[in-house]
Structure 1
């Protein structure tokens, strides 16, 4: 069974993000993941807290945060508080840092630094002391009186971080597109890391993070997904892209503007060819998207989390509803096999 997730970048007011969250809960989505990029979107922690009011089942996560703009103490306190408020319905999604850092000229964390940050977060959630890196002083969460079970997910696309995720994470947010080839390569790499720590893929929760545009007009759908596809294909991936597409990827990499990160009208979207869209997005008519979901539903993914892209000013509600219907039909078909 494939579970449903939705990634919501806070590009709209908090009240609207709360409306999408409640709709997702109503439709049976398992998770809602909020983007965290303080210079281009609304504040993620406030958005999650407001969206959680009145919910009963859906799990709240970041897609994703970082340990640079968010100090360890701040991250730990945010998630301890959100876990307390939601009764433990949380999933801390973290990465090396992307637009939240690059919009200020800062570099992402090295993998060893990310691993250390995760170790320290787990210590803080356990109620233990951690040393502050610059001062050397010890600190802890004073109100945590018993260990907290807060799963940590790593967002990954490149081989080294996929392997790290398999070794240390509770879950992996996999950003490698919607092609069987790239998904399987990512799973194989995660599994390699899992084996290094005495685990298997069954010990991790695998979330496939995919830009999604579902429209009656397939050309319009592909156009809407191009900007996010640009973000995916400029990163190292676990499998090789056909050499005929490398020149296009190089052009995208040279022109990518992080202040228009995930913006459907970004200039860098215009140079993304259809071939890359078909590899790295779920974009097309409802029937086309349903077929793509069926093609990847047997790969061992636990959840497909869509990032819905719609024309400027249009509600994401329709895409959230349509994708829910698609997954429900796919799951019904699999149950009947």
Structure 2
């Protein structure tokens, strides 16, 4: 059975984010993935620590962090501490870096650099020493008395990182849309990577990251997710799209503003046509979303993690609640 997760960007005060996580736990969600982009959102580690208080089951993860603004000594210590505090209810979601870097004019990590960072994080969490790349000094987490088990999830959309994730990660946060052909293509690429390390697709936990808006008015729902869809299509896609959409995608890539990253009112959201929304989001009436969810459930993912979007005055709780209802029917 496909489980449910919720991706939450900390665009509201910590108390509000904590309430969303507690609601998700009460509704049976398995994971709460907290966005990490220090220039546009509130601090992820503070948000996760606050959200952990009063919960007992839900797994807390980043959706996602990076190893540039977060030095690996800091990442390892953050996750060792959070794992200790929650009794192991953690999942470290990491990627090459996106808005957290782009808003400062920095470039994402190369895939080889990301792979090296993951290897060093695992070594630190085992209590081993690694060498700092600039100073040459070895360092470790001196307070660990035993290895800490923290599953590492790679965020992936383009084919090369999907394959890397299949080879090295414990789980994959897949951002490729909701169209069956895109999801199936991504899973095949992950599986090819898994085989390189002697594993199968079933050895990894596959999370489908899904911008979601559920409203009585289908058009209003689609309007809410256009900005997130634009973020998906600025990256290389896992499968070809209709050639007629390629000029539209190129205009979105040229006009994307990282300081309006995932903001439903971003100017680049207006460039996104309904055809792209239908390919890359879960947006529409409850009945429409339920039908697409049934398609996704048959494709082989382990979890659908919604990124809930709603009118500002409404808040995200209603979408979190409604998705739980349609997923459980």
TM-score calculated relative to the size of structure 1: 0.97
Q: Which residue does the alignment assign to 1:72? A: 72
The structural deviation recorded for 1:314 is 2.2
**Unaligned runs of at least 5 residues, structure 2:** none
Which residue of structure 2 aligns with residue 85 of structure 1?
A: 85
> 1:226 offset after TM fit, Å?
0.2
Alignment-derived partner of residue 167 in structure 1 = 167
Other-structure match for 1:313: 313
Q: Provide the residue aligned with 1:334 in structure 2.
A: none
Quote the residue 1:298 is aligned against. 298
Deviation at 1:75, TM superposition (A): 0.2
Q: Aligned residue for 2:328? A: 328
- 1:46-67 deviations in Å (ceiling 9; x for gaps): 0000010010000000000000
SS of structure 1 residue aligned to 2:104:
coil
Other structure's SS at 2:181 match: helix
> What stretches of structure 1 of length at least 5 have no aligned partner?
330-337
Which stretch has the larger CA shift, 306-315 or 86-95?
306-315
Dislocated runs of 4+, deviation >2 Å: none
Secondary structure at the aligned position of 2:45 is classed as helix
Shift, 1:327, TM fit: 1.0
Q: Distance in 1 between matches of 2:240 and 2:130?
A: 41
Question: 1:77, 1:12 → 2: CA distance?
Answer: 26
Cα shift at 1:313? 3.1
Partners of 1:112 and 1:190 lie apart in 2 by: 17
User: What is the CA distance between 1:155 and its match in structure 2?
Assistant: 0.2
Alpha-carbon shift at residue 238 of structure 1 (Å): 1.3
Q: Distance in 2 between matches of 1:142 and 1:313?
A: 47
Q: Does 1:34 align with 2:1?
A: no
CA RMSD of aligned residues (A): 0.5
Q: Partner residue of 1:259?
A: 259
Q: Aligned residues, how many?
A: 329
Q: Distance in 1 between matches of 2:311 and 2:54?
A: 29
> What are the superposed Cα offsets for residues 88-114 of structure 1, whole Å, 9 maximum, x if unpaired?
000000000000000000000000000
Using the alignment, how far apart are the partners of 1:257 and 1:201 within structure 2?
35
Distance in 2 separating the partners of 1:123 and 1:306: 32
In the TM superposition, what are the counterparts of 1:274-293 in structure 2 within 5 Å? 274-293=274-293
SS at match of 2:219: helix
User: What SS does the aligned partner of 1:39 have?
Assistant: coil
Aligned partner of 2:94 in structure 1 is 94
Aligned mates of 1:8, 1:313 — CA distance in 2:
17
Residue 154 (structure 1) aligns with: 154
Residue by residue, what CA displacement relative to the aligned partner does 1:228-284 show, whole Å, maximum 9, x if unpaired? 000001110110111010010001001000000000000000010000000000000
CA distance in 2, matches of 1:202, 1:274: 34
Could you say what secondary structure the match of 2:307 adopts? strand
Query: What per-residue deviation string (whole Å, max 9, x for no partner) do you get for residues 5-29 of structure 1?
Result: 0000000000000000000000000
Q: Which secondary structure does the structure 1 equivalent of 2:5 belong to?
A: strand
Residue number in structure 1 paired with 2:193? 193
